[in-house]
Homo-oligomer: A and B are copies of this chain.
Amino acid sequence: MNFELLQKDPKSKARAGKITTDHGEIETPIFMPVGTAGTVKALHQRELKEDVKAEIILGNTYHLYLRPGLDVIEAAGGLHQFNGWDRPMLTDSGGYQVYSLKDRRKITEEGVKFQSHIDGSRHNFTPESVMDIQRTIGADIIMAFDECTPYPCDEKYAKNSMEMTHRWLKRCCDRFDETEPKYGYDQTLFPIVQGSTYHDLRTKSAETIASFGREGNAIGGLSVGEPAEMMYESTDLVCSILPEDKPRYLMGVGTPSNLIECIALGVDMFDCVLPTRNARHGVLYTSEGIINIKNEKWEKDFSPVDPNLAGHVDMNYSKAYLRHLIRTGEMLGAQIASIHNLSFFLWLVKEARAHILQGDFASWKNAILPKLSNRL
């Protein structure tokens, strides 16, 4: 993997760059649609490419490990072959999902024992096994096995957890470095900064993570319920420590406003289920604001969801039709809304990138931010 820093914004910490992987290039800043079980919900791979113009998508290690299982993915020749997505992919480490199991998991220094949410079967993730699993899934970028602390989290727990995450990172790196990719293309490992909302812990974690000298770095444990201002503070702090010449990935973030604010703090990569999950409930993000399509005011509005987007769903379907589909629970409603929201998220980061490159990001940001959270 290669990262090229192309331009820094003069009035903020925003940057435009380019990541090159064996499956192609990613222009940063970028938003990565989440494809939990090897599918971005309700979208064909063709639509992700041609309509959304996604450059990289995510897969979830926990879900893929359980279903279809590693033997199927390996027999297919990796996840790219299995699902037909031939551009870059990133997998999380499964940690976040495992911790969400709450009563069905136990964390020790060795790793995490957990029960499947599907059939209650017992499994064991360790830093080493998670590296092996991600080698088998075969994403271009894989994530270290960390503990994602909840919010709020007492300082002692946060400190102990962070230190364990750092020890686990050492084990992840050792295992990763002594193994080879399985399918003839390169993989790279991103470590994850933790430390909850404590500035001294975040500082310590960012310094430790940076010292591993991997090809990219991630910020975890944010967007877990803390106020947005706290998330921005931690992100700003961590970005100031992480090396400038490597991409920075803020995990699980966020709303359109969050993206723009965090791009301004120096983040290059984002992922979030928000655009697809909210789409299924009829919440649409547009260049003029947020639409709840279930509202009666859209009943006879035959204009497009977002006249500023040129994709096929915005060209061919009206708000009134989409409202009808969402209200009647028709699958096409979720399909249209998901394509729209992801297209908008990708449009937004592309716009941000264009304004960074032409040097007027700060003024563009000030102009667009009020619109992004405007309720239409």
- Would you give the 0/1 interface string for A96-134, flagging 1 where the beta carbon is closer than 8 Å to chain B? 000000000000000000000000000000000000000
- Would you give the 0/1 interface string for A67-95, flagging 1 where the beta carbon is closer than 8 Å to chain B? 11001100110000111100000000000
User: Which of A156-164, A226-234, A267-275, A321-329 lies on the face that meets chain B?
Assistant: A321-329
User: Which of A39-47, A235-243, A258-266 lies on the face that meets chain B?
Assistant: A39-47
A321 partner, pick from B41, B83, B318, B331, beta carbons under 8 A = B83
A356 at the interface (CB under 8 A from B): no
A287 at the interface (CB under 8 A from B): no
Which residues of chain B have C-beta atoms less than 8 A from A299's C-beta? Answer: 68, 72
Q: What distance in Å separates the Cβ of A317 from its nearest Cβ neighbour in chain B?
A: 6
Do B68 and A312 touch (CB < 8 A)?
A: no
Do B75 and A44 touch (CB < 8 A)?
A: no
How many copies, total?
A: 2
- Would you give the 0/1 interface string for A319-356, flagging 1 where the beta carbon is closer than 8 Å to chain B? 01101110110111011100000000000000000000
Q: What distance in Å separates the Cβ of A78 from its nearest Cβ neighbour in chain B?
A: 12
Q: A68-B320, A82-B321 are in contact. Are A75 and B39 (CB under 8 A)?
A: no
- Would you give the 0/1 interface string for A28-47, flagging 1 where the beta carbon is closer than 8 Å to chain B? 00000000011101111110
Which residues of chain B have C-beta atoms less than 8 A from A81's C-beta? Answer: 302
Do A332 and B67 touch (CB < 8 A)?
A: no
Which residues of chain B have C-beta atoms less than 8 A from A324's C-beta? Answer: 37-38, 67-68, 72, 82
Which residues of chain B have C-beta atoms less than 8 A from A331's C-beta? Answer: 41-42, 331, 334-335
A 39-74 contacts with B by CB, 8 A:
39, 41-46, 67-68, 71-72
- Which B-chain residue is minimally distant from A45 (CB atoms)? B316
Do B43 and A300 touch (CB < 8 A)?
A: no
Instruction: Pick from A67, A71, A81, A332 the residue with the most CB of B within 10 Å.
Output: A332
- Which B-chain residue is minimally distant from A332 (CB atoms)? B39
Q: How far is the CA of A302 from the CA of B68 in the complex (A)?
A: 13
Q: A67-B324, A72-B300, A76-B320 are in contact. Are A39 and B84 (CB under 8 A)?
A: no
Q: What distance in Å separates the Cβ of A1 from its nearest Cβ neighbour in chain B?
A: 26
Which residues of chain B have C-beta atoms less than 8 A from A320's C-beta? Answer: 68, 72, 75-76, 82
A 184-209 contacts with B by CB, 8 A:
none
- Which B-chain residue is minimally distant from A41 (CB atoms)? B331
Q: What distance in Å separates the Cβ of A63 from its nearest Cβ neighbour in chain B?
A: 8
Q: How far is the CA of A72 from the CA of B82 in the complex (A)?
A: 43
A 256-315 contacts with B by CB, 8 A:
299-300, 302, 312-313
Q: A68-B324, A330-B39 are in contact. Are A76 and B302 (CB under 8 A)?
A: yes
Q: How far is the CA of A299 from the CA of B299 in the complex (A)?
A: 44
Q: What distance in Å separates the Cβ of A73 from its nearest Cβ neighbour in chain B?
A: 9
Q: What distance in Å separates the Cβ of A257 from its nearest Cβ neighbour in chain B?
A: 28
Given contacts A38-B321, A72-B324, A75-B300, 8 further A-B contacts (CB under 8 A): A44-B313, A68-B299, A68-B324, A68-B327, A76-B318, A81-B302, A84-B317, A84-B321
CB within 8 Å of B: which residues of A? Answer: 37-39, 41-46, 67-68, 71-72, 75-76, 81-84, 299-300, 302, 312-313, 316-318, 320-321, 323-325, 327-328, 330-332, 334-336
23 pairs from A and B in contact (CB 8 Å cutoff): A38-B324, A38-B325, A39-B330, A41-B332, A44-B332, A44-B336, A45-B316, A68-B299, A68-B320, A68-B324, A68-B327, A71-B300, A72-B300, A72-B320, A72-B324, A75-B302, A76-B302, A81-B302, A82-B324, A83-B321, A84-B321, A331-B331, A331-B335
